[in-house]
């Protein structure tokens, strides 16, 4: 657009612009697929470089690196579920509360003396139950937008969680329950430093690979993308849209329950304020990672990148003793910038 | 690509604006909420920083964006532990949820004390308000203000919480000891509207009440409304707890009679001082009282 003239603007409006793009646009167009796929990695690389310069002794220490993954694991679980909802051009505002409901369900079962495998499975099951209710509400009750059903669930799940727990923290979970969120696999000792691998990081990687495979190589995955791209076309082509949506919100709730297990592991506590605002962090991670609110576009790798960017911001500012208020401002700014990049991408992409 | 620098420069600016200076000893004070907007935490921060300056140590004050953001507080402490610190002064947003990270600090050899809210880790010193002593102070004020044998009432907080129980116990013992006739002891669950409702019910059944102790200012302010509508506010001695700015206004307006102030500056001061003592190999008492002060119309202006 640097050479754009009056004539070209007119041409733009008339949609006769086939051969008028200038060199920078041509370059941008050719780079576009790579920026789409790997732009988030560039952002992460630059952030890592900046953080390394400000905290050379600490930032790349094994302990700090594992800290970042421990701190982001809960958001990673919530974000991947949220990503499915966003792929279908929907949203799930309830996952923070659903996570808390899952934690409280596990807590109540724990203190009722149930065996640990049942306690362990109850958190994701309770989450999935809430998620399925969301899905059924969105499809069968014909809610005008998933926003409304899941906003309702945001209140219902937290209320129910407080109801079953009596609104008090339930604490003191056995190691078997805390394994996912707190255990560190010892890798050995080198040069006086102990190297441990958090189970939460292993779980994150396994879950993300599984979601990536599911989205790319299964019928369900392709249908999720199809519904997000064009729900009417999907319906006409014989896809049972309702069944797919109910599954998506069920998975979203299930992952919130898994996130709850990780938080129980980290804190040894199911507490009433758990997950407050967590849904917004998950939405932020998806957007920063390039998922489109119009549905049908975004990658698992991008979401992972978004989660890591959010974790790096917090970790980096904490290490540099910057007030949390800057974290909020910065995350907000990055969301806006990420979406602006998406807007530019669309403009370049449509100007063939 | 060409648009990335914008993002990067925001990040780099924030970072470079804040590179910490390296010094011998670094004490981290992790509060429940930010000092901005909450005079209580601002006072804790001021006390901690003042003690840090006196002792020549770096004091880093951190807080999650809200008092319910438990996960942020844990992450902040983990990040500081990774940097290596010489002491941790902690007001836990959730006493049990913070226990694992406190254990991590202890395993690192970092001395830890709790301020304001006692945590669940055994053997860690708690520095804060002796709520029972504070409630006793309020009772003493009531005992001096009304004749022995008078009808009085107590509004309790949530007594399953340690603070609620301590304030209820302290006031009950104090008022009984000077011969007051406690006609009602009911909970307003720390809430202003519930304090109002409970007070309405109490005066309906006990019109001769001359003094009320409410376990926090919110309930006292609610009770003041109930007493006002019953037309007896001027005849009743009404004492709260916390000395929040609304209560100070109410005292100066002649509605509430008194309240009890905690001493958050001392929490910050004693907190930093105590971890330095631990670092020097000294031992601490399990509980250190930061003291309470009676607030009446004489000194309420200091708390507005």
Nearest by CB to residue A269, choosing from B11, B96, B160, is B96
Instruction: Kindly write down the DSSP assignment for every residue of A119-163, as one continuous string.
Output: HHHHHHHHHHHHHHHHHHHHHTS--S-HHHHHHHHHHHHHHHHHH
Q: What is the pLDDT of residues A127-141, one digit of tens each?
A: 999 999 999 999 999
In this structure, the answer to whether residues B94 and B142 fall within a common structural domain is no
One domain, residues B63 and B206: no
Q: Which domain holds residue B197?
A: 131-262
Among candidates B3, B11, B120 on the partner chain, residue whose Cβ is nearest the Cβ of A344: B3
Which among B6, B65, B68 is the nearest to A324, CB-wise? Answer: B65
- A50 → closest Cβ in B2, B15, B83: B15
Residues in chain A within 8 Å Cβ distance of B66 = 276
Structure tokens at B136: 């006793």
Q: Residue B188: helix, strand or coil by DSSP?
A: coil
Residues B161 and B242 both lie in one domain: yes
Q: Residues of A with CB below 8 A from B8's CB?
A: 43, 46-47, 50
Coil, helix or strand at residue B154: strand
Are the beta carbons of B78 and A269 separated by less than 8 Å? no
**Cα–Cα dist A248/A264, whole Å:** 24
Q: Do A268 and B7 touch (CB under 8 A)?
A: no
Instruction: Identify the pLDDT of residue B197.
Output: 92
Q: Is the pLDDT of residue B280 over 70?
A: yes
Nearest residue in B to A58, CA atom: B83
Residue A40 is predicted with a pLDDT of 84
Q: Which residue is closest to B93 within chain A, CA to CA?
A: A273
Structure tokens at A111: 């203190």
Q: Tell me whether residues B69 and A277 touch, CB distance under 8 A.
A: yes
- Nearest-angstrom CA–CA distance, B254 and A130: 52
CA-only gyration radius of chain A, Å: 22
Q: Do A267 and B82 touch (CB under 8 A)?
A: no
Mean confidence (pLDDT) of chain B: 89
Q: Do B7 and A51 touch (CB under 8 A)?
A: no
The number of beta carbons lying within 10 Å of the beta carbon of residue B18 is 16
| Eight-class DSSP state of B235 | G
* Claim to verify: residue B150 and residue B258 sit in the same structural domain: yes
Nearest CA in chain A to B84: A58
The DSSP output letter for A307 is H
Per-residue pLDDT at B9 exceeds 60: no
Cite the DSSP H helix spans in B39-93: 39-55, 70-83
- Together in a domain, B120 and B208: no
Same domain, B242 and B285: no
Closest by Cβ to B4, choosing from A43, A74, A169: A43
B15 in a structural domain: no
| pLDDT for res B111 | 97
Cβ-based contacts under 8 A for chains A and B: 141
Angle between the B70-83 and A300-319 helix axes, to the nearest 10 degrees?
Answer: 60
Say yes or no to pLDDT of B18 above 80: no
Distance CA A207, CA B265 (A): 47
Express each pLDDT in B42-96 by its tens digit: 999 999 999 999 999 999 999 998 888 899 999 999 999 999 999 999 999 888 8
Residue-level pLDDT at B11: 56
Rounded average pLDDT over B13-23: 48
Mean pLDDT of A306-327: 89
Domain ranges of chain A: 68-350
Judged by average pLDDT, the poorest of A280-289, B22-31, B151-160, B246-255 is: B22-31
Is B224 found in the same domain as B268? no
Both B210 and B236 in one domain: the answer is yes
B127-163 pLDDT, tens digit per residue, is 999 999 999 999 999 999 999 999 999 999 887 777 8
ipTM, two decimals: 0.76
CA distance B297 to chain A (A): 37
Average pLDDT value for residue range B8-25: 53
Pairwise CB contact (< 8 Å): A171 & B96: yes
The set of residues, in sequence order, having a beta carbon less than 8 Å from that of B292 and lying 6+ positions away, is B129, B130, B133, B134, B137, B260, B261, B262, B263
Distance of CA B49 to the CA centre of its chain: 18
pLDDT digits (tens, 9 = 90+) for B185-205: 999 988 899 899 999 999 988
Residue B49: its pLDDT value, please? 96
CA neighbor of B169 nearest in space, from B180, B181, B153, B156 = B156
Q: Which CATH number fits domain A68-350: 3.40.50, 2.60.40, 3.30.70, 1.10.3470?
A: 1.10.3470
Residue with tokens 């000792």: A189
Q: Which of A117-121, A302-306, A345-349, B259-263 has the lowest mean pLDDT?
A: A345-349
Contacts of B4 in chain A (CB under 8 A): 39, 42-43, 46
Chain center to CA of B167:
13
Structure tokens at A116: 């640990």
Q: What CATH number should be reported for the domain holding residue B155? A: 3.40.50.2300
Structurally, how many domains does chain B consist of? 2
8-state DSSP, B215: S
Residue B12 lies in a domain: no
- In the structure, what pLDDT confidence band is assigned to residue B36 with cuts at 50, 70 and 90? confident
- Compute the C-alpha angle B168/B171/B174, nearest 5°: 145
Q: Which residues of A touch B93 (CB under 8 A)?
A: 273
Compute the distance between CA of residue A217 and CA of residue A291 in angstroms, rounded to an integer: 19
Chain-chain contact of A330 with B14 (C-beta, under 8 angstroms): yes
Q: In this predicted structure, what is the pLDDT of residue A2?
A: 40
Check B78 against A323: CB less than 8 A apart: no
Among candidate residues B294, B32, B301, the one with its CA nearest the CA of residue B139: B294
Shared domain check, B59 and B46 = yes
Which residue stretches of A170-320 are H helix?
A: 175-182, 199-217, 219-229, 231-236, 241-267, 278-288, 300-319
Lowest-confidence pick of A42-56, A168-182, A200-214, B9-23: B9-23
Nearest to A31 among B1, B71, B97 (CB): B1
Alpha carbons B203 and B183: distance in angstroms, whole number: 10
Residues in Cβ contact with A261 at an 8 Å cutoff, skipping those fewer than 6 apart: A102, A103, A106, A120, A123, A124, A177, A180, A181
Dist. CA A259–CA A253, nearest whole Å: 10
Q: Which of B2, B9, B10, B15 to mutate to test the interface with A (most CBs of A within 10 A)?
A: B15
């Amino acid at each position: 657009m640097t050479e754009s003239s009056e004539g070209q603007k007119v041409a733009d409006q008339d949609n006769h612009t086939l051969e008028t793009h200038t060199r920078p646009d041509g370059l941008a167009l050719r780079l576009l697929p790579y920026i789409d796929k790997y732009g988030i990695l560039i952002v992460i690389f630059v952030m890592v470089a900046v953080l390394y310069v400000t905290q050379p002794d600490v930032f790349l220490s094994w302990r700090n690196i594992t800290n970042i993954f421990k701190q982001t694991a809960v958001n990673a679980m919530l974000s991947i579920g949220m990503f499915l909802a966003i792929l279908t051009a929907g949203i799930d505002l309830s996952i923070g509360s659903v996570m808390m409901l899952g934690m409280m369900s596990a807590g109540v079962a724990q203190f009722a003396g149930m065996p640990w495998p049942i306690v362990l499975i109850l958190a994701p099951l309770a989450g999935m139950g809430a998620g399925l209710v969301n899905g059924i509400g969105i499809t069968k009750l014909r809610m005008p937008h998933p926003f409304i059903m899941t906003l309702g669930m945001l209140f219902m799940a937290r209320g129910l969680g407080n109801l079953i727990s009596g609104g008090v923290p339930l604490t003191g979970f056995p190691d078997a329950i805390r394994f996912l969120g707190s255990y560190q696999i010892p890798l050995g000792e080198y040069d006086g430093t102990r190297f441990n691998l958090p189970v939460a990081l292993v779980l994150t990687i396994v879950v993300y690979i599984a979601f990536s495979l599911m989205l790319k190589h299964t019928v369900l995955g392709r249908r999720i993308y199809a519904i997000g791209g064009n729900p009417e076309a999907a319906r006409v082509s014989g896809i049972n849209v309702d069944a797919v949506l109910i599954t998506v919100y069920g998975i979203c709730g299930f992952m919130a329950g898994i996130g709850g297990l990780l938080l129980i592991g980290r804190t040894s506590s199911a507490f009433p304020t758990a997950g407050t605002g967590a849904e917004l962090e998950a939405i932020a991670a998806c957007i920063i990672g390039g998922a489109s609110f119009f549905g049908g576009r975004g990658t698992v790798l991008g979401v992972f990148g978004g989660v890591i960017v959010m974790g790096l911001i917090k970790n980096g500012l904490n290490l540099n003793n910057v007030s949390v208020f800057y974290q909020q401002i910065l995350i907000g700014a990055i969301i806006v910038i990420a979406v602006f990049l998406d807007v530019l991408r669309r403009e370049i992409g449509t100007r063939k | 690509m060409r648009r990335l620098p914008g993002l990067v420069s925001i990040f780099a600016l924030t970072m470079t604006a804040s590179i910490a200076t390296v010094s011998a000893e670094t004490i981290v004070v992790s509060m429940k909420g930010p000092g901005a907007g909450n005079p209580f935490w601002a006072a804790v921060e001021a006390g901690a920083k003042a003690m840090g300056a006196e002792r020549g140590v770096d004091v880093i004050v951190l807080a999650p964006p809200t008092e319910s953001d438990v996960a942020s507080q844990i992450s902040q402490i983990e990040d500081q532990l990774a940097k290596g610190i010489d002491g941790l002064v902690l007001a836990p947003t959730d006493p049990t949820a913070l226990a694992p990270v406190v254990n991590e600090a202890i395993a690192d050899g970092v001395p830890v004390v709790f301020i304001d809210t006692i945590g669940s880790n055994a053997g860690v010193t708690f520095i804060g308000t002796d709520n029972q002593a504070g409630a006793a102070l309020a009772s003493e004020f009531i005992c001096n203000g009304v004749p022995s044998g008078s009808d009085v009432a107590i509004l309790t907080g949530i007594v399953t919480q340690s603070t609620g129980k301590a304030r209820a116990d302290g006031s009950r013992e104090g008022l009984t000891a000077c011969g007051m006739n406690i006609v009602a002891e009911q909970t307003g669950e720390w809430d202003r509207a519930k304090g109002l409702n409970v007070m309405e019910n109490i005066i309906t059944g006990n019109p001769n009440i001359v003094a009320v102790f409410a376990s926090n200012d919110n309930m006292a302010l609610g009770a003041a409304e109930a007493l006002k509508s019953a037309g007896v506010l001027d005849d009743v001695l009404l004492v709260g707890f916390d000395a929040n700015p609304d209560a100070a206004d109410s005292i100066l307006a002649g509605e509430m009679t008194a309240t009890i102030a905690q001493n958050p500056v001392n929490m910050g001061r004693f907190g930093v001082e105590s971890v330095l003592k631990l670092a020097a190999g000294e031992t601490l008492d399990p509980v250190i009282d930061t003291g309470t002060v009676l607030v009446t119309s004489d000194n309420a202006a200091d708390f507005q």
